[in-house]
Amino acid sequence: MLTLPDFKEKKVVYIIPKDGIDKSLKLENSNLCLMENDKVTAKLTLHTVLSVMIIGDCTITTNLINKLTEMGISIYFLGFDLKNKNHINSIADGNYQLREKQYKLSAIELLNISKLIVKNKIKNQRQILIKTKKGDLEKVEERLLKQVDESTMLQNLLAREGYFASKYFPLIFTDFNWYRRAPRTKEDAINLILDTGYTILFNYVDSLLALFGFDLYKGVYHQEFYKRKSLVCDLVEPLRPIIDYSIVKAFNLKQFNVEKDFKVYNDEHTFKDYDVRKRYLNVYTEALLNDKEKIYDYVLCFYRFIMNPEKYSYKEFLI
């Protein structure tokens, strides 16, 4: 298991090819080597890598893939729209005791854990509203938290979470021509910006959960669905406001610009070019690094909670 001192030294590596340049990754004496047109342009020791995110086309050797997975480093392949295309997870497959605990959770236990996740997310969303001076929603939060506690079905929780979101998003993005939350549609720039940030967050949490040996497809709040990593979806929920805040902050600092950073193709918004893509990735990565140790502790505590709920309790991630 990855310890906190080891985790502090880890980083996410992004590979973003430029047009007209052939990029490849290879292994050289336990180093990750980035090649551009057959020349080494960067070298990084694998001991400092948590995960590798490859955006666009890049050649990678089988020796490197084997070494990365052996060392617990996951690989993610994203399109130029920064949407996940594929992945190679490094999973601690031998942790059968953890998976046995996952599979044996009763319906009541699943519901109770789901309540904790939803309440955690709502608290963080309200905290971001206060932090950005966009609103408060204290009375709405109090009422919903009580209703969450009284819920007897997962469908009730989905309704409570959705209701708070319907109040939250128009407030947090009130200055950016907010229309509606439409995941994965790319119908406007703000939805693409959100989807991109949430994808980077998802991959980050995914790589951590994999190191502990969880079955990533066995969810608690999110039910099992073909090819959906439901457990990752679960633990990402309370962390989403980290991305929301980073977006508001980036707009205020003029790092993001809806008019200049995007182009529209077939009624879908996409990033204008390499430099824009890189700038957005830097903002999201910095936001996650600011809470790096807290995120690790959140996942570690969840692992302990599932393994021994009599001794450990669910620990909220609080912004």
CATH code of 298's domain: 1.20.120.920
User: Which residues, in sequence order, are CB contacts of 9 under 8 Å at separation 6+?
Assistant: 47, 48
Average pLDDT, stretch 287-309? Answer: 96
Both tokens of 285, joined, read: 């990565």
Residue 203: inside a domain, yes or no?
Answer: yes
pTM (2 d.p.): 0.92
CA angle (207, 195, 128) in 5-degree steps: 90
Residue 125: inside a domain, yes or no?
Answer: yes
Both tokens of 301, joined, read: 């505590």
Examine the domain organization and report whether 32 and 167 are in the same domain.
no
Examine the domain organization and report whether 146 and 226 are in the same domain.
yes
For strand 49-55 and strand 74-78, is the pairing parallel, antiparallel, or unpaired? parallel
User: Counting Cβ atoms within 10 Å, is residue 138 exposed (0-12), middle (13-18) or buried (19+)?
Assistant: exposed
Examine the domain organization and report whether 239 and 103 are in the same domain.
yes
Domain that holds residue 66: 4-88
User: Which residues, in sequence order, are CB contacts of 76 under 8 Å at separation 6+?
Assistant: 51, 52, 53, 54, 84, 86, 87, 203, 206
Examine the domain organization and report whether 234 and 269 are in the same domain.
yes
Examine the domain organization and report whether 110 and 200 are in the same domain.
yes
Query: Tell me: the pLDDT tens digits for 148-205?
Result: 999 999 999 999 999 999 999 999 999 988 999 999 888 999 999 999 999 999 999 9
- At 8 the pLDDT is 81
3-class DSSP state of 272:
coil
Query: Tell me: the pLDDT tens digits for 23-66?
Result: 899 999 989 999 888 889 889 999 999 999 999 889 999 999 99
Examine the domain organization and report whether 198 and 172 are in the same domain.
yes
Examine the domain organization and report whether 138 and 282 are in the same domain.
yes
The closest of 82, 72, 28, 65 to 50, measured between CA atoms, is 72
Examine the domain organization and report whether 80 and 100 are in the same domain.
no
Question: Phi and psi at residue 212, in whole multiples of 5°?
Answer: -85, -15
Question: What's the domain count of the chain?
Answer: 2
Residue 314: inside a domain, yes or no?
Answer: no
Residue 145 has pLDDT above 80, yes or no: yes
How many angstroms separate the Cα of 129 from the Cα of each of 122, 126, 135, 158, 175? 11, 5, 5, 21, 13
pLDDT band, very low/low/confident/very high, at 93 (cuts 50, 70, 90): low
Examine the domain organization and report whether 82 and 199 are in the same domain.
no
Share of the chain above pLDDT 70, in %: 98
Query: Tell me: the pLDDT tens digits for 230-263?
Result: 999 999 999 999 999 999 999 999 999 999 999 9
Show which of 45, 71, 88 is a domain's final residue.
88
- At 1 the pLDDT is 63
How far is it, in rounded angstroms, from Cα 195 to Cα 182? 9
